[in-house]
Amino acid sequence: MQIFKVGGAVRDRLLGKPVTDIDWVVVGATTEEMLAQGYRPVGSDFPVFLHPKSGEEYALARTERKSGRGYGGFTFHASPEVTLEEDLIRRDLTINAMAEDDQQNLTDPYHGQRDLEARILRHVSPAFAEDPLRVLRVARFAARYAGLGFTVAPETLELMRQLSESGELEALTAERSWKEISRALLEDQPQVFIQVLRDCGALKVLMPEVDALFGVPQPEAHHPEIDTGLHTLSVLEQSALHQQPLTVRWACLLHDLGKGLTPEEEWPRHIAHEHTGLKLIKAVNERFKAPKDCQELALLVGKYHTHGHRALELKASTLLELLQSFDVYRRPQRFEEFIAACEMDARGRKGLEQRSYPQADYLRGAAKVAREVAVQPLLEKGFKGPELGEALKRERLKALKSYKENA
């Protein structure tokens, strides 16, 4: 029995990055031998075990063969005869197909170290094209390592293009897709993830609503970058630079989908794109079964982001309506995330990345004023039920009018 550290742990050590998750491969062992040594089996698809003390995952060396559509369409074969090289060749990228023993002696049959040094994301073998999930994974790695200068090898991008055109991407489950998308959006350069998906034709399959934004012009006065797709990438880039949470990044990606529906004869204006985009945002949310908080914020940002930009001009009644829509009294954090998304939208414009966004503090102040209106005096006056709600609304409107006059 031989045990090797494999995959990301080896890659990140060689890159000088912190190693978080460690995967192990066991060569020359049987399931019975693993159980006899106290390893606990997990999953039913293939032989993976938890170490009796560390809890880390140890997998028996295995080969795989395509047997159906999608990410799950594989049959696995694990036996003591399977070599380390045979196990490594089924992996996605050369930089993930390296192993080392307990003395840090490197096994690198597919030249992963060379590709690390050349900053190239390259597939290990033609079997790469059998797994559609790898399109998303490679795009995610491109987003993670773009800052180090990594790019996707042209021949790998070509295989990704073939996969995108094959219909295999449609076989991915919403859960698997969302897992990759959400992880990619939280990388340092999530805009690279979207760009790579677009480069290989996967974006128009997975998110045609986002793909449709490229080539759609906007008024240059407000959007020096002009192209709506490029603007979306810039907004996403800003959300990462400002370390926004996943909810905000997802809303940033989807906020302008309505502009993809504007008839060409109306370009570059996009009247009521906030409302026309809602059905598209809802469709993307449902396609990937995004978490509820991500779904809700994306819809609210899509509907109200121009209100955020025009906050200083809004009438007190419109301001109150905005605050009520977000339920700022019980869910203040959601409104804070809305403000963040609006600010990222304002900064995601060519040459305007550093500009100030006074609307943010103005909106925070308005929410504070509305929240501070006390209910008790109204109860003491005898208001209750729907009448109490209306009286509270009047008091909040009065407070917001005063806030607006003194701002």
Q: Six-digit token pair at 245?
A: 């949470």
What's the pLDDT at 45?
65
What's the pLDDT at 147? 96
* Alpha carbons 212 and 198: distance in angstroms, whole number: 11
- Cβ atoms of residues 194 and 236 within 8 Å: yes
B/e letters for 51-86, b = 16+ CB within 10 Å, e = fewer, are: beeeeebbbbbbbbeeeeebbeebeeebeeebebeb
For residues 175 and 292, give the distance between their C-alpha atoms in angstroms, rounded to a whole number. Answer: 14
Residue 388: partners with Cβ closer than 8 Å, 6 or more residues away: 375, 378, 379
Q: Does position 71 have pLDDT exceeding 80, yes or no? A: no
Query: pLDDT tens for residues 181-215?
Result: 999 999 999 999 999 999 999 999 999 999 999 99
Position 74 pLDDT exceeds 80: no
| Dihedral sign (CA 341, 346, 351, 356) | negative
For the segment 23-36, what is each residue's pLDDT rounded down to a tens digit?
A: 999 999 998 999 99
* Confidence grade of residue 360 (pLDDT, cut at 50, 70, 90): very high
The model carries a pTM of 0.92
d(C-alpha 70, C-alpha 168), whole Å: 6
Per residue in 43-65, pLDDT (tens digit) is 666 689 999 999 899 999 988 76
Percent of the chain with pLDDT over 90: 89
**pLDDT averaged over the chain?**
94
Q: Give percent helix, percent strand, percent coil of the chain, each to the nearest 5.
A: 55, 10, 35
pLDDT at 68: 54
Cis peptide before 386 (omega within 30 of 0): no
pLDDT range class, residue 75, cuts 50, 70, 90? low
- Per the DSSP assignment, residues forming a β-bridge with 248 are none
Among candidates 252, 148, 238, 145, which has minimal Cα distance to 196?
145
Between the two ends of the chain, the Cα-to-Cα distance in Å is 73
pLDDT for 20 beyond 90: no
Query: By three-state DSSP, how is residue 63 classified?
Result: strand
Query: What DSSP line would sit under 126-194, residue for residue?
Result: GGGGG-THHHHHHHHHHHHHGGGT-EE-HHHHHHHHHHHHHTGGGGS-HHHHHHHHHHHHTSS-HHHHH
H helix intervals, 16-132: 31-36, 84-89, 112-118
pLDDT tens sequence across 257-271? 999 999 999 999 999
Alpha helices in 288-327 (DSSP H): 292-309, 316-326
Query: Is residue 334 over pLDDT 60?
Result: yes
Q: What is the length of the chain? A: 407
Is 235's pLDDT higher than 70? yes
* 259: amino acid identity, one letter: K
For 329, residues 6+ apart whose C-beta sits below 8 A from its C-beta are 370, 371
What whole-number distance in Å separates Cα of residue 279 and Cα of residue 282? 5
pLDDT at 64: 72
